[in-house]
Amino acid sequence: MRRRNFLLTASAAMLAGCKKIGDTGAFQGLVDGAESWHRGLHRALGFGRIEMAPEYDVTDISPYFRGNGSTSVDGPAYAAAQASGFADWQLAVGGLVANPLVLSMDDIRGLPQRTQITRHDCVEGWSAIGQWTGPQLSRILDAVRVEEGARYVVFHCADTLGGARYYESCDMADAYHPQTIVAHRLNGRPLPVRNGAPLRLRLERQLGYKHAKYLTGIEAVASLEDIEGGHGGYWEDRSGYQWYAGI
Ligand SMILES: Nc1nc2c(c(=O)[nH]1)N[C@H]1C(S)=C(S)[C@@H](COP(=O)(O)O)O[C@H]1N2
Ligand SMILES: [Mo]
């Protein structure tokens, strides 16, 4: 079975209550992953209370969610992707994982979805409330089976600012947090280009610059030292923005 199709096939098989396809090993990974979700969460968070970011009502949604930082991606590849409605966009998930995967947009949309209405706070002094939809990052991490030595998750982006690629990272506590999602919808519609189409991270307990847009890759790592400038993010490498930008 081709890996990029496995999630779809696997969820279809689960719906049918059929586990025979588990012979491929990949499917078994997803099943094991789902079962280890709570283990992973507890390992990441300890057994204390999970702090949730405030969630809002539909009537609170900002009429216009502005774009900030990169509001598109330069170059013909992204233009072509946009022209085709991002049908062939791929998200590579790898690093310190047992079962690296390349996920299609259908794979992402085929996972269980979470919708949340949250307030985005940019360090530059503006906020906006939006409704975001996508799978929890924990679902994806469990499907690839993150290995014991992994301590951080790095988010790779398609865009460059001043010639350097944008990226971000978080620890396992935030990676497995229930409100950390890979969003593909804003306010009930596919993500606008300015807001990171077709995929962007929502990391709701931290400031805006942590919410990586134009996601192309997710990587589990033991250390951030060898990634780009070594400070865990584009702005952290340049401006002294805090790596942990808790609100
Ligand atoms: N790939 C990428 N992600 C990014 C940025 C960026 O320039 N490139 N800007 C960040 C900043 S500073 C903010 S406030 C938010 C803005 O999200 P928005 O464009 O949806 O308002 O995206 C964050 N994620
Ligand atoms: Mo920001």
Classify residue 97: in a domain, yes or no: yes
Predicted TM-score of the model (pTM): 0.85
Ligand 1 pocket: which of 186, 211, 242 to mutate (most atoms within 8 A of CB): 211
- Strand pairing report for 101-104 and 90-95: antiparallel
Classify residue 6: in a domain, yes or no: no
CATH code where residue 205 lies: 3.90.420.10
Q: In whole angstroms, give the CA distance from residue 233 to residue 228.
A: 8
Classify residue 17: in a domain, yes or no: no
Q: Which ligand is nearest to the CA of 213?
A: 1
Predicted local distance difference test score (pLDDT) of residue 240: 85
Classify residue 217: in a domain, yes or no: yes
Classify residue 80: in a domain, yes or no: yes
Classify residue 93: in a domain, yes or no: yes
Domain carrying residue 163: 53-239
Give one DSSP letter per residue of 2-22, joined into a string.
-GGGHHHHHHHHHHTT--GGG
Cα maximum dimension of the chain: 54
Alpha helices for 36-104 (secondary structure H): 37-45, 76-83
- Identify which of 75, 69, 53, 77 has the alpha carbon closest to the alpha carbon of residue 126: 69
Ligand 1 pocket: which of 65, 66, 68, 239 to mutate (most atoms within 8 A of CB): 68
For the chain, list residues with pLDDT below 50: 1-25, 27-28, 31, 35, 38
Predicted local distance difference test score (pLDDT) of residue 208: 98
pLDDT digits (tens, 9 = 90+) for 151-205: 999 999 999 999 999 999 999 999 999 999 999 999 999 999 999 999 999 999 9
Classify residue 192: in a domain, yes or no: yes
- For 70, list phi and psi in degrees, rounded to 5: -65, 135
Ligand 1 pocket: which of 121, 159, 170, 213 to mutate (most atoms within 8 A of CB): 213
Classify residue 230: in a domain, yes or no: yes
Domain count, the chain: 1
- Nearest-Å Rg of the Cα atoms of the chain is 17
Give one DSSP letter per residue of 148-200, joined into a string.
TT--EEEEEEEEEETTEEEEEEEEHHHHT-TT-EEE-EETTEEPPGGGTTT-E
Q: Is the CB of 156 under 6 A from ligand 1?
A: no
Q: What is the residue with the minimal CA distance to atom 5 of ligand 1?
A: 69
Q: Name the helix (H) or strand (E) containing 110.
A: helix 105-110
Predicted local distance difference test score (pLDDT) of residue 15: 41
Centre of ligand 1 to C-alpha 131, Å, is: 16
